[in-house]
Amino acid sequence: TQLLEQSPQFLSIQEGENLTVYCNSSSVFSSLQWYRQEPGEGPVLLVTVVTGGEVKKLKRLTFQFGDARKDSSLHITAAQPGDTGLYLCAGALLYSGGSNYKLTFGKGTLLTVNP
């Protein structure tokens, strides 16, 4: 059972289009991170969201954390070919009385933006 479900798994769009990808779970997360990974490289952090309902913007990217801290979305406006990559969400779960945490990744959304 996948703790974090990402959808869609694959997305191919034309340059200039808008898109939204989703990250859903039945678990409540202390925080949630979004990463982008390009072929042959490690994931690179885009943003961390901590508070339920929080919205963060990074240029053309808008990230939202659900009110219940169980889900998140990433919206890209006017996508460009440089946005192509694997978008991963990762949820942080606290345990051991809050002294430790584990970061669990979803399978990712593979985005292709065609020129």
Partner 1 sequence: DTGVSQDPRHKITKRGQNVTFRCDPISEHNRLYWYRQTLGQGPEFLTYFQNEAQLEKSRLLSDRFSAERPKGSFSTLEIQRTEQGDSAMYLCASSFGGWGSPLHFGNGTRLTVT
Burial class (CB in 10 A: 0-12, 13-18, 19+), 51: exposed
Q: Is residue 20 near partner 1 by the rule CB under 8 A?
A: no
- Taking CB under 8 A as the rule, does residue 30 contact partner 1? yes
Contacts of partner 1 in 55-84 (CB under 8 A): none
Of positions 33, 63, 66, 111, contacts partner 1 by CB under 8 A: 33
Give dist(CA 47, CA 76) in Å, integer: 14
Burial (0-12, 13-18, 19+ Cβ within 10 Å), 10: exposed
Q: Interface residues with partner 1 (CB under 8 A)? A: 4, 6, 30-31, 33, 40-45, 48, 50, 88, 90, 92, 94, 98, 100-108
